[in-house]
A and B are shown apart, each in its own frame.
Chain A
Amino acid sequence: MLERTRAIVADIFEVPLEQVLPESSPDTIETWDSLRHLNLVLALEQEFGIQFSPEEIEQLLSVELIVALLAEKIVLVESASA
C-alpha cells in the first residue's frame, strides 16, 4: 500500500518517485498545495475504491498518515463485505 500511495503522490505532484518518502508532506513537496490536495484525494479514492469524509481529508497530510488511514479504512471495507 505504501508503494501504491507513493506512486500516486509522485504522479499528482509531478515529482520523481525517489523523492517521495513516508515522511513526505506539504512541507517537503513544494507542489502539494490545497488545490492539488483535492486531486490527491480523488486519485486515492479511485485507486483504493474508498471514500474519505471531510474530516479525514484534512488529516491526509503526509504519506505515512495516508497509508495509516487507508489501512484502517480498507480493513473496515473488507470486514463489512465479509
Chain B
Amino acid sequence: MSPSSNLRKEIDQHLAAQNREAALSGLRRFWSSESGPAAAGYVISCCEKLRPFLRPTPYKVAILRSFTLEPVTPLLRAAAFLAGIDITVQLSGFDTYVQQMLDPDSDLYAFQPHAVILAVQTRDLFPELWDTYTDLSRDEQRASLNNIGTLAEWVRIFRSRSAASLIIHNFEKPATPSAGLLDAQGGDSQSALIEELNQRLRGLAADLPGVHILDYEALASRSGRDNWHDERKWLTMRMPIAADKLSAMAQEWLRFLHPLCGRIGKVLVTDLDNTLWGGVIGEDGMDGIKLGREYPGAFHHALQRVLLDLHNRGILLAIASKNNEADAMQAIEGHPEMLLRERHFAARQIHWESKVDSLRRIAEELNVGLDSLVFLDDNPVERENVRLALPEVTVIDLPPDSMGYAKAVRNCPFFERLSSSEEDRKRGILYAEQRQRKDLEQTVTSVEDYYYSLNQRVELAKVTKQTLDRAAQLLKKTNQFNLTTRRHSEADIARFAADPDWDVYLARVTDRFGDNGITGVCITHRVGAVCEIDTFLLSCRVIGRTVETAILHFIAEHNRAKGVSQLDGWFLPTPKNQPAESFYASHKFIEKSRTDSGTLWSIDLRESSINCPPWIQLSMEQNAEKSECAYA
C-alpha cells in the first residue's frame, strides 16, 4: 500500500469521525505529495464535505483562452479550496476571447467574474514572431509588434465594461528560434522582438487599473521549455502544456488570486533553532550554531535573506521560539552572520510555553486576525499542533532538508501582493512607533489627556491615481473597523472616483510619533438630498483614537454643504468587525431598518451635527475639490 493511499484512508476516517482539523491537515499533506487530476477530484470531494467548517471565500474566475486548459480547472479548484478560496471557473470557448471581450452581452459579462485570465499564446496573436518569422523582411518583423495596439484596444473595451481584475499571460519565446544560432547574434531577433513585446505589454498594464501581467515566459523557462511543452498533446488535443506541468500553471494563477481576493498573510511568525540558524542556541552556544555564507550555515542564511526581502516588502516578522530569551537575543544581536536583527521583528514570544499560545499573543499584540499569520517552523510536530489547534493560521510545509527552506517561503502565495505601495514598505517601522505609543498610553492619566498628547492630525484627500492602489489594498485587508466590508476592486474605486455622485476620501493620520500613512477610507454615494456611506473603514493602527469621529464630521459637513439633509449608513456584521458595531449609535445615528445582513442607520443633518474632537487637527488637502477630474 502506497503512503498516499494510507493517507487517504486516514483522511476518510477523520472525515467520518468529524475530526475536521485533522482531515484538513491530512488533505494538505496529501495534496503536497500528489497533485494530479485524480488527486484533485478527491480533494474537491473532501473539501465539499468540509465546506461549512472551511467557510471558503467565494470567487469567480473567467478564463479566456486559445488552447486546452480544461484539465487545469480541477487542479486550480483543489489547490484554492485548501487555501480557503472557493473558485467557480468559467472557461470560454476556444478562440472566442475577442468576441467575449467585445460583445457586451457575452457569457463573460453575464458571469460577472471577480477576475479574468487572458491565456493566449505568442503563436496565436503574433504568428509573425512564431511560425512565419523567416518569411518576413526585417521591417515586416518589426512592424508586427504594432499589433499589440489591437490587444490594447480589446483590453480597454473590457476595462470599460467590467470592474473585474484582468490577468494577462505575457508572450513566450520559442524553444528553438527559427533562425537557429543566428537569433542570438546582433540586432533584432525573434527572441529580442518578443522581449520588446512583453515590455510594451507591461506598459499597457501599468496604465490601466486592475490589469496585471502573468509572466508566462518566465514560468515556462522556470520548468525548462523542453519539459514545459508536450508537442504530442499540442498536436492531438491543442494542449501545449505537459500534463505534469499543469499544476504549476494552476499554482501560478493561484498566486494572483490570493492577493486579489484578500487571502493574504500579513505576519510571518518564525521559529529560531534549526530554522533561522542550524543547531540549538541553548546547547550549541553562539559559536556552535550554523549560520553563514558557507555550507552548512548557508541554507539558514538564505532563508534569512528571504525573510528580509519580505520585511522590506512590508510583511511583518515575528518570533515564536522555545528558548531562554536572553540566549536567543544574544545570538540575534551578536552573531556576526545574522541578517535579521531585533529591529526587524515586530513582536516576539521567546519562552517555554506552547507555540499555539505564542501565535495567539502575537496576533493580539499586532492587532491582526489569526488568519493573517503564517507560521514557519522546522519541527513537523509543532506545525501539526498549530494546524490542529489554530486551523486559521497558514502553516508553511517545509521539506525535511533545510536546503529547501528558502524556496518554500519564496513560493508561499500568501505573501504575494499586486501593488507595492510605499505604505507597505514603511509598515515595519510604523509598528515600532506603535509600540512607543502603547507605552505612552500607559503613562497618561485620563483618556482625553492621552488623545491630546498624541497631537493627531487627520488629513483628508480625494483618491488619486497615485493613492488608488493603497485605497484598494485597505478595502481588501481591513477586517476590524470596517462597517460594510465591501471588497471593491481597484477598478470599482476608480469608477466611483470619476462619478460626481460618489466621493472617495482617504484619511492620512499623523501624530507625535510619526506618519501613520493613509489609514482610512470613506466612500459615499449621494442621491438627491440623501447621502449613503458605502464604505467606512480604518486600519487597526489608528483604531480607538477618535479618528473616525473626525472623518465622520468631515463627511457630514462636506455633504451638508452640497445640500444633503440625511446621512445613511449600513452596518453589516462579520465575524471580525465588532470594533465598528456601535459606531453609528455612538454618533447619534438612529436605527432605520434591520435585515438579515445588517442594520441601516440614519442621521438627520438638519437637526444634528457631528463635532470634530477638539484634540484632532483636521485638514483637507487644498485641491480636494479641484481633483474631481483626476480620472477624466
B278 is an interface residue with CB less than 8 A from chain A: no
- Would B237 and A39 count as touching, CB distance under 8 A? no
A39 to B42, CA, bound (A): 13
Chain A residues whose C-beta falls within 8 Å of the C-beta of B283 in the assembled complex: none
Chain B residues whose C-beta falls within 8 Å of the C-beta of A10 in the assembled complex: 41
B39 is an interface residue with CB less than 8 A from chain A: yes
Chain B residues whose C-beta falls within 8 Å of the C-beta of A54 in the assembled complex: 236-237
A54 to B234, CA, bound (A): 11
- Measured as residues with beta carbon below 8 angstroms from the partner, the interface class of chain B is 20 to 34
Chain B residue with Cβ nearest A39 = B37
Checking B39, B45, B232 against A14 with a beta-carbon cut-off of 8 angstroms, the contacting residue is B45
Chain B residues whose C-beta falls within 8 Å of the C-beta of A61 in the assembled complex: none
Chain A residue with Cβ nearest B44 = A14
B68-76, B98-106, B498-506: which lies at the interface: B68-76
A46 to B41, CA, bound (A): 15
Chain A residues whose C-beta falls within 8 Å of the C-beta of B91 in the assembled complex: 35
A53 is an interface residue with CB less than 8 A from chain B: yes
- Would B37 and A12 count as touching, CB distance under 8 A? yes
- Would A11 and B41 count as touching, CB distance under 8 A? yes
Checking A13, A35, A46, A53 against B243 with a beta-carbon cut-off of 8 angstroms, the contacting residue is A46
Cβ < 8 Å to A, chain B residues 60-88: 68, 70-71, 74
- Would A45 and B70 count as touching, CB distance under 8 A? no
B38 is an interface residue with CB less than 8 A from chain A: yes
Chain A residues whose C-beta falls within 8 Å of the C-beta of B243 in the assembled complex: 42, 45-46
- Would A11 and B42 count as touching, CB distance under 8 A? yes
Q: How many residues of A contact B (CB 8 A)?
A: 21
B36 is an interface residue with CB less than 8 A from chain A: yes
Query: A39-B74, A53-B236, A54-B237 in contact; A12/B68 too (CB < 8 A)?
Result: no
Cβ < 8 Å to B, chain A residues 32-68: 35-36, 38-40, 42-43, 45-47, 51, 53-54, 57
Query: A11-B42, A35-B70 in contact; A43/B237 too (CB < 8 A)?
Result: no
Checking B39, B232, B236 against A11 with a beta-carbon cut-off of 8 angstroms, the contacting residue is B39
- Would A43 and B37 count as touching, CB distance under 8 A? yes
Cβ < 8 Å to A, chain B residues 10-61: 36-42, 44-45
Query: A14-B45, A46-B243, A51-B232 in contact; A38/B39 too (CB < 8 A)?
Result: no
- Would B236 and A14 count as touching, CB distance under 8 A? no
Smallest distance from the beta carbon of A11 to chain B beta carbons, Å?
4
Chain B residue with Cβ nearest A54 = B236
Query: A14-B44, A51-B232 in contact; A39/B70 too (CB < 8 A)?
Result: yes
* Residue of A11, A53, A54 with most partner-chain B CB within 10 A: A11
Checking B36, B41, B68, B232 against A38 with a beta-carbon cut-off of 8 angstroms, the contacting residue is B68
- Would A42 and B71 count as touching, CB distance under 8 A? yes
Chain B residues whose C-beta falls within 8 Å of the C-beta of A46 in the assembled complex: 36-38, 243-244
Smallest distance from the beta carbon of A15 to chain B beta carbons, Å?
9
Chain A residues whose C-beta falls within 8 Å of the C-beta of B38 in the assembled complex: 7-8, 11-12, 43, 46-47
Can you list 14 residue pairs at the A/B interface with Cβ under 8 Å? A8-B38, A11-B40, A14-B41, A35-B70, A35-B91, A36-B70, A38-B68, A38-B70, A39-B37, A39-B70, A40-B37, A42-B246, A46-B38, A57-B237
Measured CB to CB, the residues of A under 8 A from B are: 7-8, 10-14, 35-36, 38-40, 42-43, 45-47, 51, 53-54, 57
Measured CB to CB, the residues of B under 8 A from A are: 36-42, 44-45, 68, 70-71, 74, 91, 232, 236-237, 239, 243-244, 246
